[in-house]
Amino acid sequence: MIKNYYILRNSERTGPFTFTEMMQMDIDLDTQLQRESNQKWQNASELPEFNYYFEGKGFYFPTEDNLAGFWWRLLAYAIDSVILTVAIMFFASDLFMEIYKNQQANDTSYDALITRLKLNFILFLTSIIYNALLEATPMRGSIGKRICKLAVVDADGKRLSLPRAFLRNVGKILSSLVFCVGYLNILWDDHRQAWHDYFAKTYVIIRNR
């Protein structure tokens, strides 16, 4: 059955237009549309048949069918952990070597503890910067997420601004508390959000492109 649509422009109802004709128009997320079989006006972003159209424009709407699960996100995290560890080993090899020597000597002194804390801080800070910068680009996520075809978006399917991406990644401190229960929340949450996703109002989705 062919669907026809009406468009509300300048408070006037125009149409009907076929789906093919709609694809040729420059509609945006907030364009008011009405299906011929329904009297209700809706934003174009609310009609699932237009998802591919908006994905072509760079919008990825979080839906029940495309929300990324815990294991895909864990795989992306593992890939990123390898990337970051190798990069930090290259730029901070002296620090890694010092920690290795301390471990070999079973050194539990205050200085050895400080060295380990320095490394942990560098890893955490690098992770925040790395993830936030890439989430604010058209990649919409880290290299690990890109490999796993995942993307971080807001409720409107848009990519994150840089401040919001930083907010999301700083919020991972919350998710890491109490045996990382904030990350495990993905397993039972209806929207598959970790605590830092709640904090920043973001979603991780499986992208088609």
- What pLDDT digit, counting tens, does each position of 90-124 carry? 776 676 676 666 666 676 776 667 767 777 788 88
Q: Are residues 161 and 114 in the same domain?
A: yes
Q: Are residues 19 and 103 in the same domain?
A: no
What's the confidence (pLDDT) of residue 105? 66
Q: Are residues 103 and 48 in the same domain?
A: no
What's the confidence (pLDDT) of residue 209? 61
Q: Are residues 42 and 95 in the same domain?
A: no
Q: Are residues 46 and 12 in the same domain?
A: yes
Q: Are residues 82 and 183 in the same domain?
A: yes
In a domain, 77, yes or no: yes
Last residue of a domain, one of 30, 56, 82: 56
Per-residue pLDDT of the chain (209 residues; tens, 9 = 90+): 557 888 888 888 888 888 888 888 888 888 888 887 777 888 888 787 887 788 777 788 888 888 999 999 999 999 999 999 888 887 766 766 766 666 666 767 766 677 677 777 888 888 999 999 999 999 999 999 999 999 999 988 889 999 999 999 999 999 998 889 999 999 999 999 999 999 999 999 998 76
Last residue of a domain, one of 12, 32, 56: 56
In a domain, 61, yes or no: no
What's the confidence (pLDDT) of residue 57? 78
Q: How far is CA 37 from CA 1, 2, 4, 33, 82, in A?
A: 11, 11, 8, 12, 53
In a domain, 63, yes or no: no
Pick from 129, 191, 125, 115: nearest CA to 165: 129
Residue linked to tokens 């942990």: 120
What's the confidence (pLDDT) of residue 117? 74
Q: Are residues 113 and 173 in the same domain?
A: yes
Q: Are residues 47 and 123 in the same domain?
A: no
Q: Are residues 172 and 197 in the same domain?
A: yes
What's the confidence (pLDDT) of residue 102? 66
Q: Are residues 83 and 17 in the same domain?
A: no
In a domain, 122, yes or no: yes
Q: How far apart are CA 132 and CA 164, in angstroms?
A: 8
Write out the residue range of the structural domain in which residue 31 sits.
4-56
Q: How many CB atoms lie within 10 A of CB 49?
A: 12
CB 153 within 8 A of CB 62: yes
What's the confidence (pLDDT) of residue 150? 96
What's the confidence (pLDDT) of residue 182? 94
In a domain, 65, yes or no: no
In a domain, 16, yes or no: yes
> Is the C-alpha dihedral spanning 126, 73, 50, 43 positive or negative?
negative
Q: How far apart are CA 186 and CA 68, in angstroms?
A: 9
The number of folded domains in the chain is 2
Q: Are residues 74 and 44 in the same domain?
A: no
What's the confidence (pLDDT) of residue 194? 96
In a domain, 176, yes or no: yes
In a domain, 74, yes or no: yes
What's the confidence (pLDDT) of residue 110? 67
What's the confidence (pLDDT) of residue 16? 85
Q: How many CB atoms lie within 10 A of CB 176?
A: 16
The torsion angles phi and psi of 102, rounded to 5 degrees, stand at -65, -40
For residue 68 the two structure tokens come to 């990324």
- Give the count of alpha carbons within 13 A of 27, CB side only: 29
Q: Are residues 168 and 96 in the same domain?
A: yes
